[in-house]
Structure 1
Amino acid sequence: MEMSDTESGQQRFSLRGWRFWIRPVVIVVYSLLFLVTVPLVAVYLEKSQESPKTEAWLIAGVFVLFTVPISLWTILQHLIYYTQPELQKHIIRILWMVPIYSIDSWVAIIYPPSAIYLDTLRECYEAYVVYNFMAYLLNYLTREYELAGTLGAKSQQKHLVPFCCFPVWPMGGIFIERCKQGVLQYTILRPITTLIALICELAGRYHEGDFSPAYAWVWIVFINNASQIWAMYCLVLFYYATKEELKPIKPVGKFLCVKLVVFASFWQAVAIAIVVFVIPFKQKWGWVTRDEMANGLQDFIICIEMLIAAVAHHFTFSYKPFIIQGHNVPWYRSFRSMLDVSDVRQDIAEQVREVGQRVIPKQAPWKRRQKNGFTDDSEKYDELSSLITPSSSDGEMANILGYGERPSYSSHGRVQDNHTDAYDNVERDSDR
């Protein structure tokens, strides 16, 4: 039975019809915030003394004013058309990076003492973004292919320069495991080094831009640099091994968006710290110390760069491929799935356990518990399979949308019977 115009209008303005009214509500709320913020900024500028720092804060604020709505609009569109949660959950987490970076940096410019705390949060989220990008790629590939089998049937992927002398990683589950561990080590290590930097700063032993080994900055930069290079290398190696399978989602632009924001910003901060350490310093610029000036310049540049990143993310992580008419997921499920971090906790726990098993001497084969006269290696296979197992929340959402059943695969590793995939522009196998 067709719905009447009156019933259709009532549904649109009800809680179940949130997709129709959420966008105008967000626009109105942001406009009100804009009308309140601009007079406050004007009052602050009237009371403060003119300095390069104040001018930098004002210019950066203009960029933030345009950056945030672009990013929020893209995130909102993904929530409205939340039809493929195993992919969009990670996309939304990546998209949040831009407003978090821009607002964090803008506040830190005018309140330099808070920069160390704000930068701690920003750098922790940076590591979180790297993990989510790897998870996004894995979830797409494991949905479309029997990934371990597909990679196992390929020719061996050799290491790239400058790690070409390293032993090769066998294609298949082991290759996936090594690449994922290479990314996860940065996800774990970066928050730890950030916390150490915070403690050293509070203790007066950090000294950003000081290359003396007596202070912590040079050591933390070295550790973060090594960890970032290895994580970026593992992402590149994984891309080279799976670039044919990743073609439908156009991965090059996505790789560049993540790498330029996450990895280039780190080297940018190091370069600025070196320049500020070399040039003459003048307090009339508005900063009290060289450290504050280095952080202020870095934050100012980030505010400008985030506008470019917001536009790039809007097109490279577009919501349009996920538009499927007829799907009506309740609003609370979309938001709950976005905020669910159980997959991160599970992955980190599994990888820490795997590393621990390598460090702790393994039990001799003849001492292992045996079943039917054979050594029990089921834990090993369970561990490898868990690398590509979606979280429970993704499975719940997939069942709601009607594609939660486990797919079957062809002899080529391609999904035989799956839901309609908006990304799938590749020709179907001839045997179908």
Structure 2
Amino acid sequence: VTDRSQFVAQVPIIGSLSFHDLCVIISGSCMAFVCLVSFFLIMRHANHFSLPKEQKQVIRIVFMVPVFSLVTFLSIAFNGSAIYIKSIEGVYEGIAFSSFFLLLCEFIRENEEDRQAFLASSGSTKQHKAACIGVFQFPIAMLLQLVITDITQAAGIYCAQSNKFYFAKVWMTILNALSTAVAIISVLKFYGATKTVTKPRKPLSKLVGFKAIIGLSFLQNLVFSFLQSSMKPTEHYTYNDLTIGLPNLLLSVEMVIFSLAFLYIFRAHEYYANKGASVVPLGHGGYQGGFLGIKAIIKAFSIIDILKGIISLPMSAKDNSSTRPSKAWDTGSSTEYERIGMQPNYGQPPEYPHNAAHPRGMPYQQENVQYDPYHAPFNQDTGYHH
């Protein structure tokens, strides 16, 4: 029988609520709010699924926030099993990071052959291959960490309270640190080599917002990991309250902030069709998400493209290999269009009947239509050739 006093302090902190109870209430409230906000944003993308290759990556990235929020809540509520639960967070972090890299690739060129030609002509092939290796090792490392952590914890040799090298915990911390650092550095270098062509898509805000979650989570876990051995329980706080409840409570509150920030950073408005606009909406050939966005959700959570990217790692690691392994995870589906330029009316002014009435009472004018960099015809050198 487990002694509940190990998990819940004997002296309440507010009224009849222990610190553990208070953390559960706050974290649960944060999780509910985060899920509502994040699912709202996901459904906006799913119901306006005009650029499947991009938006499926965006949906995966946005979904990371409720995943983190759920994991932190469960870790607090069931703090005796928190070590097993927290490992799940790392696995999805690896999936989301891979999705962000694939999103950057889509920002360069939607079509695989065009992208490879650009990378070769701009001298970015080396950074691309290094990024493939650095990014796709991350989900492997996180899955390995989950397996080893669960096995060693069950065997009694993980020892979260110790930083001694003959326990598994310190080695898992090192694995996490190295793998995260390699993934982040490789993506930063790839972004630096291609930022001139991706600038019209404003990837910097997406990069900062996404990296902030991973970086903040990693730093907090690292700090509390090394502080665990010095934390002492009191009558109000158990050891688990200090080492598990407190860091996860901070992360729960932070996820609320990130869920709101993602509404702007990964907004769906640029994918909307606007019948009254003088430009062709981004990649528009119609919405492809199906009824209630169900097809979009299914497509987003089919991670075949990431699995193929992982499988292609040995080829990417060869010095004499070409950049073709990236083609294995380019589309993830044979039903997606080949290039945005093939979309109906792409790069052309809207076609309206002669003398038709404008919704705002003005005559349509097809001549001298202005195009911004997002919607420029394919033969213009805007730096963004969707």
Same fold, judged at TM 0.5 (above): yes
Report what 2:80 is aligned to: 113
Contact 2:231 2:243 (8 Å CA) reproduced: no
- In 2, distance between residues paired with 1:82 and 1:392? 15
- In 2, distance between residues paired with 1:275 and 1:425? 54
Contact 1:182 1:230 (8 Å CA) reproduced: yes
Work out which of the residue numbers 304, 308, 316 in structure 2 matches 1:346.
308
Work out which of the residue numbers 10, 14, 29 in structure 2 matches 1:62.
29
Partner SS, residue 335 of structure 2:
helix
- Residue 398 in 1 paired to residue 350 in 2? no
Report what 1:123 is aligned to: 90
Work out which of the residue numbers 192, 198, 202 in structure 1 matches 2:150.
198
1:76-115 correspondence to structure 2 within 5 Å: 76-115=43-82
- In 2, distance between residues paired with 1:339 and 1:150? 29
- In 2, distance between residues paired with 1:174 and 1:395? 28
Report what 2:352 is aligned to: none
Tell me the CA shift for residue 276 of structure 1.
3.7
Contact 2:87 2:145 (8 Å CA) reproduced: no
Report what 1:273 is aligned to: 225
Q: Give, as a single letter, the amino acid of the residue that structure 2 aligns with 1:118.
A: I
- Residue 247 in 1 paired to residue 199 in 2? yes
Contact 1:347 1:387 (8 Å CA) reproduced: yes
- In 1, distance between residues paired with 2:201 and 2:327? 19
Tell me the CA shift for residue 112 of structure 1.
1.1
Contact 1:261 1:309 (8 Å CA) reproduced: yes
- In 1, distance between residues paired with 2:162 and 2:372? 52
Kindly provide the CA deviation profile for residues 359-418 of structure 1, in whole angstroms up to 9, marking residues without a partner as x. xxxxxxxxxxxxxxxxxx9xx44xx2231455555441326999479x9xxxxxxxxxxx
Q: Give, as a single letter, the amino acid of the residue that structure 1 aligns with 2:325.
A: S
- In 1, distance between residues paired with 2:185 and 2:338? 36
Contact 1:148 1:176 (8 Å CA) reproduced: no
- Residue 385 in 1 paired to residue 324 in 2? yes
Q: Give, as a single letter, the amino acid of the residue that structure 2 aligns with 1:322.
A: Y
Residues 423 and 73 (structure 1 numbering): CA distance in 2 closer, same or farther, change over 3 Å? Answer: farther
Report what 1:146 is aligned to: 114
Identity of aligned residues (%): 21
Work out which of the residue numbers 273, 278, 281 in structure 2 matches 1:324.
273
Kindly provide the CA deviation profile for residues 185-222 of structure 1, in whole angstroms up to 9, marking residues without a partner as x. 11211210221111111111112242111211111111
Tell me the CA shift for residue 422 of structure 1.
8.4
- In 2, distance between residues paired with 1:303 and 1:53? 14
Contact 2:65 2:258 (8 Å CA) reproduced: yes
Partner SS, residue 96 of structure 1:
helix
Q: Give, as a single letter, the amino acid of the residue that structure 2 aligns with 1:335.
A: I
Kindly provide the CA deviation profile for residues 60-107 of structure 1, in whole angstroms up to 9, marking residues without a partner as x. 222223221110100000000001010001100011111111122112
Report what 1:132 is aligned to: 99
- In 1, distance between residues paired with 2:124 and 2:224? 42
- In 2, distance between residues paired with 1:206 and 1:398? 49
Partner SS, residue 396 of structure 1:
coil
- Residue 260 in 1 paired to residue 203 in 2? no
- In 2, distance between residues paired with 1:404 and 1:353? 33
Residues 94 and 123 (structure 1 numbering): CA distance in 2 closer, same or farther, change over 3 Å? Answer: same
Contact 1:71 1:99 (8 Å CA) reproduced: yes
- Residue 302 in 1 paired to residue 251 in 2? yes
CA RMSD in angstroms comes to 3.2
Which runs of 5 or more structure 2 residues have no equivalent in the other structure? 1-11, 275-284, 347-370
Q: Give, as a single letter, the amino acid of the residue that structure 2 aligns with 1:113.
A: G
Tell me the CA shift for residue 328 of structure 1.
4.2
1:185-224 correspondence to structure 2 within 5 Å: 185-224=137-176
Residues 328 and 321 (structure 1 numbering): CA distance in 2 closer, same or farther, change over 3 Å? Answer: closer
Which runs of 5 or more structure 1 residues have no equivalent in the other structure? 1-44, 155-170, 359-376, 408-419
Name the TM-score, length of structure 1 as normaliser.
0.69
Tell me the CA shift for residue 425 of structure 1.
7.2
Partner SS, residue 286 of structure 2:
coil
Residues 217 and 343 (structure 1 numbering): CA distance in 2 closer, same or farther, change over 3 Å? Answer: same
- In 1, distance between residues paired with 2:16 and 2:149? 32
- In 2, distance between residues paired with 1:391 and 1:250? 21
- In 2, distance between residues paired with 1:52 and 1:99? 24
Structure number with the bigger relative contact order (C-alpha 8 A, sep ≥ 6) is 2
Partner SS, residue 313 of structure 1:
helix
Residues 106 and 98 (structure 1 numbering): CA distance in 2 closer, same or farther, change over 3 Å? Answer: same
Partner SS, residue 65 of structure 1:
helix
Contact 2:45 2:268 (8 Å CA) reproduced: yes
More helix by share: 1
- In 2, distance between residues paired with 1:323 and 1:344? 27
- In 2, distance between residues paired with 1:146 and 1:421? 21
Residues 108 and 150 (structure 1 numbering): CA distance in 2 closer, same or farther, change over 3 Å? Answer: same
Partner SS, residue 214 of structure 2:
helix
Kindly provide the CA deviation profile for residues 286-338 of structure 1, in whole angstroms up to 9, marking residues without a partner as x. x4xx3563122221111100011101111111101111257243234323212
